[in-house]
Amino acid sequence: MSTTELRLEKSFEKRVLRTLQSYFRRSNDVLLQESLWANGLSKEDAAQVMEMLEKGQTVSEVMENLRSKGVFNKQA
């Protein structure tokens, strides 16, 4: 993986993280889901994130789940 690809991957991961963190300041389900799509998550991954948040999981747990699924590796 080139340095540029690595930067893009980390940038995507950071955008998703910031989006999830902003949800807890102003929780708006529709805005969050649309923001996750706009940042590059698939509709299926965004739906799973929404389900996890509805079950009370933390941002850390959601991010770990996305990492374990390889979501951020797909965006190279």
Residues 44, 67: Cα–Cα separation, whole Å: 15
- Give the tens place of pLDDT for each residue, 27-61: 899 999 999 998 889 999 999 999 999 999 999 99
- Tell the residue number behind the tokens 């893009």, with chain if given: 8
Q: Domain spans of the chain?
A: 3-69
pLDDT at 24: 82
- Give the closest residue to 59 by CA, choosing from 10, 23, 11: 23
Question: What is the model's pTM?
Answer: 0.77
Burial class (CB in 10 A: 0-12, 13-18, 19+), 60: exposed
25/38 Cα distance (integer angstroms): 19
Say what the pLDDT of residue 65 is. 96
How confident is residue 2, by pLDDT bands cut at 50, 70 and 90? very low
CA 62 to centroid of chain Cα atoms: 8
